[in-house]
Amino acid sequence: MPESAADCGLLYIVATPIGNLGDISQRAADILARVDCIAAEDTRHTQRLLQVLGLHRPLVALHEHNERERHESVLQRLRQGESVALVSDAGTPLISDPGFILVRAAREQGLTVVPIPGPCAITTALSAAGLPTDRFTFEGFLPTKRKARLDALKALRHESRTLVFYEAPHRIRETAVALAEAFGAERSVVLARELTKAFETFYSGTAEDVVEQLAEDDYAEKGEYVVMVAGAPVSSEDAATEIDPDELLTVLLREVPVKVAARMASELTGLSRNELYQRALALKA
């Protein structure tokens, strides 16, 4: 067994195509060809990719149902000097896919984690959506229950950043209706389906337009979706009166204790008192 972290194997986080196999990078293919083992979300899916690449590597299953129990065996391989590649079924691992438990544990143990960048459905969709991308927030998958989904969307109605979600095809029409209800019929919405594949499709317009486009498309419930919603408009008045929490805390800390400063800042900004308390402590230090 290696005596130091320098003797341990490397954990590669390898991005794979989200549809079009031509999007595999040369670096990703080279890493997959030379690692001792590949930890895959679905070994059958990854085996098909390896066959296309003409590769034969040992595979172990690492998915959301077994990661907590199996990640230690992967760490053991790394400690013994083996190199391991982590892949998901499509795109960049850990983006709404398994791997967080493994990567966190590897870093905690001083093992080296190497990202191999490549396709990601979020950035692929945003690049062609025609929505603002200077600021956006990824919210993952929406709740499956209708009321919970609508409540989650309504909680984001005042968010000024572009919103990005993943959604399953069998729920997309229902979700589009919820978008119109939560954000208003005129909010700009873009849906991306089957990205990089032969039947790649974008639905765009107002929320009401997108509901109609989905209703008219017999193939709408085929393929995974990236859902993008324009952020809420920020009025000039809102922008002028927006308070920078760190500046506010800096002023308050000149006159009052940390705890009092955090409470006063919370009342003025609406931000979490605990969050502001931690910020105040850092500023005080």
Shared-domain flag, residues 108 and 140: no
In a domain, 237, yes or no: no
pLDDT at res. 4: 64
d(CA 204, CA 201): 10
Q: Please tell me whether the overall predicted TM-score, pTM, comes out greater than 0.75 for this model.
A: yes
Are residues 179 and 88 part of one domain? Answer: no
Same domain, 263 and 189: no
> Is residue 30 over pLDDT 80?
yes
Residues 33 and 131 in one domain: no
Confidence of residue 1 (pLDDT cuts 50, 70, 90): very low
Residues 179 and 260 in one domain: no
Boundaries of domain holding 33: 5-119
What are the tens digits of pLDDT across the range 57-101?
999 999 999 999 999 999 999 999 999 999 999 999 999 999 999
Contacts of 50 (CB under 8 A, 6+ apart): 32, 38, 56, 57
Give the pLDDT of residue 23.
97
Asked if the model's pLDDT at residue 284 lies above 90, the reply is no
Backbone phi, psi, residue 185, to 5° = -65, -20
pLDDT recorded at residue 193: 98
* pLDDT, position 143: 95
User: Based on the structure, what is the number of domains in the chain?
Assistant: 3
Do 23 and 107 lie in one domain? The reply is yes
258 in the same domain as 162:
no
Q: Is residue 138 part of a domain?
A: yes
Are 89 and 192 members of one domain? no
- Whether residue 153 lies inside any domain: the answer is yes
pLDDT mean over 38-43 = 97
Same domain, 183 and 169: yes
185 in a structural domain: yes
Both 86 and 43 in a single domain? yes
In a domain, 165, yes or no: yes
> pLDDT value at position 79?
97
pLDDT for the residue 242:
64
Mean pLDDT of 222-248: 80
116 compared with 250, residue with greater pLDDT = 116
In a domain, 39, yes or no: yes
Whether 112 and 163 share a structural domain: no
> Mean of the pLDDT values across residues 249-263?
90
Place of tokens 């998958």: 141
Q: Which residues of 105-125 are buried (b: 16+ CB within 10 A; e: fewer)?
A: ebeeeebeeeebebbbbbbbb
Looking at 201, 229, 257, the residue that finishes a domain is 229
% of the chain exceeding 70 in pLDDT? 95
- Per the prediction, the chain carries an average pLDDT of 93
Give the pLDDT score at 37. Answer: 97
Residue 5 reports pLDDT greater than 70? no
**Residue 177 lies inside a defined structural domain of this protein:** yes
- Looking at the fold, whether 9 and 113 belong to one and the same domain comes out as yes
Greater pLDDT, 175 or 234: 175
User: Is 27 a member of any domain?
Assistant: yes
Question: At residue 212, does pLDDT exceed 70?
Answer: yes
User: In this structure, what CATH number is given to the domain that contains residue 48?
Assistant: 3.40.1010.10
- Where does a domain end: 119, 142, 163? 119
Q: Give the residue from 229, 259, 274 where a domain finishes.
A: 229
The pLDDT tens digits of the residues spanning 96-136 come to: 999 999 999 999 999 999 999 999 999 999 999 999 999 99
